[in-house]
């Protein structure tokens, strides 16, 4: 189950989207989220959907992987769709079978909300699928830069984030390993009554904590020995490179907003 989820994962590649500056991509996603709410008609939602599919196409991520990997999200989507269909009672009555009554407005709303949901999930997934976690962190650090003035520890936050990201695979492996070791000793998290399952979590969590603390201690030592003294006087190895495509992408987005506004009902 977890293995198949692609939400929040990164697939390396060299598409035009992969090569964009993370700052551009992060800003793009935030602006896009705002723009989505301009749409309110069939044409505008159609434009949004088309635009999103174009982005997916440009990213060279196979649509099949995207759909397959976002399955749990679709369950939520279908749920909201039916919620709208069944509970909106406006417009003409389209269908009436006993206790189920479907109204035109309900169907419209259901479809619109689903599209809105879909494009948001797709675009944010494309961000994480095409941008390495470290680039996202870099982007965020720079974008949050102005907040240093108000004493927001931007450098520390970014470093914490990048170290956490770096250790996720390590800790995932370790969790799997400890889980298996305890399963081999007859502990069973996967089955049995809830009470038993909760009890079975302890032998997993304690070793995980112990090892995480040990790792943290080792890492702190290694960082100190390698001269880490906080953000002051530090130079940056990673330089972000804002290119024409990045400006262009934001221009395209502005164009999209204009178009949506124009066709809005």
Partner 1 sequence: MDILLQEVGYSYAKDTPFEKRALTDVSLHIPSGSYTAIIGHTGSGKSTVLQHLNALLKPTEGSVMIGERKIEAGVKAKNLRDVRRQVGIVFQFPEQQLFDETVLKDIMFGPLNYGVPEEEASRRAHELVEQLGLPPEVLTKSPFDLSGGQMRRVAIAGVLAMEPDVLVLDEPTAGLDPRGRREIMDLFHRLHIQKGLTTVLVTHSMEDAARYADRVAIMHNGHCVVTGEPEEIFSNEEQLGDYRLEPPRTIRLQRKFEAKAGIKLGAISLTEEALAKNIALALLEGRDSE
Partner 2 sequence: MNSNILSFENVTFTYAPEDETVKPAVKDLSFSIQDGEWIALVGHNGSGKSTIAKLMNGLLFPQTGKVSAMGRMMEEESLWDIRSQMGMVFQNPDNQFVGATVQDDVAFALENNGVPHKEMVLRVKEALHQVKMEAYFDHEPHHLSGGQKQRVAIAGALALRPRLLILDEATSMLDPQGRMEVIETIRELRRATGLTVISITHDLEEAAMADRILVMNAGHKQLEGTPEAVFLSGNQLTTMGLDLPFAMRMTHLLREAGVELEAEHMTEDELVDDLWTYYSRK
Which residues bind to partner 2, rule: CB under 8 A?
A: 132-134, 137, 162-163, 165-166, 169-170, 173, 214-215, 218-219, 221-229, 233-239
| Shortest separation between residue 77's beta carbon and partner 1, angstroms | 20
| Shortest separation between residue 138's beta carbon and partner 2, angstroms | 10
Task: Write phi, then psi, for 40 (nearest 5 degrees).
Answer: -150, 10
| Shortest separation between residue 200's beta carbon and partner 2, angstroms | 26
94's enclosing H/E stretch is strand 93-97
**Distance between CA atoms of residues 71 and 74, nearest Å:** 5
**Distance between CA atoms of residues 66 and 55, nearest Å:** 13
| Shortest separation between residue 171's beta carbon and partner 1, angstroms | 12
| Shortest separation between residue 255's beta carbon and partner 2, angstroms | 34
Comparing CB distances to partner 1, the nearer of 15 and 27 is 15
Binding mask 167-196 for partner 1 (x = CB under 8 A): -------x--xx-xxxxxxxxx--------
Question: Residue 203 interacts with partner 1 (CB under 8 A)?
Answer: yes
Say which residues have a Cβ less than 8 Å from residue 123's Cβ, sequence separation at least 6.
29, 32, 33, 52, 55
Comparing CB distances to partner 2, the nearer of 40 and 164 is 164
**Percent of residues in the chain assigned helix, strand, coil, to nearest 5:** 70, 5, 25
- What residues numbered 54-113 form the site for partner 1, per CB under 8 A? 62, 65, 68-69
Residue 151's binding partner among partner 1, partner 2, none (Cβ under 5 to 8 angstroms by kind) is none
**Distance between CA atoms of residues 144 and 123, nearest Å:** 21
- The contacts found for 158-166 with CB under 8 angstroms, 24 or more apart, are 159/231, 161/137, 162/133, 162/134, 162/137, 163/219, 165/133, 165/134, 165/137, 166/134
Question: DSSP labels for 137-194?
Answer: HHHHHHHHGGGGGGT--HHHHHHHHHHHHHHHHHHHHHHHHHHHHHHHTT--SSSS-H
Say which residues have a Cβ less than 8 Å from residue 103's Cβ, sequence separation at least 6.
88, 89, 90, 91, 92, 93, 94
Comparing CB distances to partner 2, the nearer of 170 and 247 is 170
| Shortest separation between residue 102's beta carbon and partner 2, angstroms | 50
Residue 165's binding partner among partner 2, partner 1, none (Cβ under 5 to 8 angstroms by kind) is partner 2
> Could you give the angle at the alpha carbon of 90 between the alpha carbons of 89 and 92, nearest 5°?
110
Residue 186's binding partner among partner 1, partner 2, none (Cβ under 5 to 8 angstroms by kind) is partner 1
Residue 105's binding partner among partner 2, partner 1, none (Cβ under 5 to 8 angstroms by kind) is none
Residue 4's binding partner among partner 1, partner 2, none (Cβ under 5 to 8 angstroms by kind) is partner 1
Residue 212's binding partner among partner 2, partner 1, none (Cβ under 5 to 8 angstroms by kind) is none
User: Which residues would be at the binding site for partner 1 (CB under 8 A)?
Assistant: 3-4, 6, 11, 62, 65, 68-69, 174, 177-178, 180-188, 202-203, 206-207, 210-211
């Amino acid at each position: 189950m977890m293995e198949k989820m692609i939400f929040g994962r990164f697939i390396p590649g060299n598409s035009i989207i992969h090569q964009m500056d993370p700052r551009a991509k992060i800003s793009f996603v935030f602006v896009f989220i705002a723009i989505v709410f301009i749409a309110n008609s069939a044409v505008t939602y159609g434009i949004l959907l088309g635009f999103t599919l174009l982005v997916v196409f440009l990213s060279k991520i196979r649509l099949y992987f995207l759909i397959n990997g976002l399955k749990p999200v679709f369950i939520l989507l279908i749920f909201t769709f039916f919620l709208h269909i069944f509970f909106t009672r406006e417009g003409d009555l389209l269908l009436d079978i006993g206790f189920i009554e479907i109204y035109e407005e309900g169907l419209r709303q259901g479809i619109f909300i689903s599209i809105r949901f879909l494009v948001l999930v797709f675009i944010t997934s494309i961000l994480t699928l095409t941008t390495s976690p470290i680039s996202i962190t870099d982007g965020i650090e720079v974008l949050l830069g102005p907040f240093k003035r108000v004493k927001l520890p931007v450098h520390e936050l970014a470093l914490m984030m990048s170290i956490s990201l770096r250790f996720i695979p390590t800790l995932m492996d370790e969790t799997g390993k400890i889980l298996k070791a305890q399963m081999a000793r007859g502990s069973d998290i996967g089955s049995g009554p809830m009470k038993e399952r909760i009890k079975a979590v302890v032998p997993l969590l304690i070793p995980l904590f112990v090892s995480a603390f040990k790792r943290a201690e080792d890492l702190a030592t290694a960082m100190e020995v390698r001269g880490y003294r906080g953000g002051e006087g530090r130079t940056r190895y990673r330089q972000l490179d804002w290119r024409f495509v990045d400006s262009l992408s934001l221009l395209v987005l502005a164009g999209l907003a204009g178009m949506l506004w124009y066709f809005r009902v």
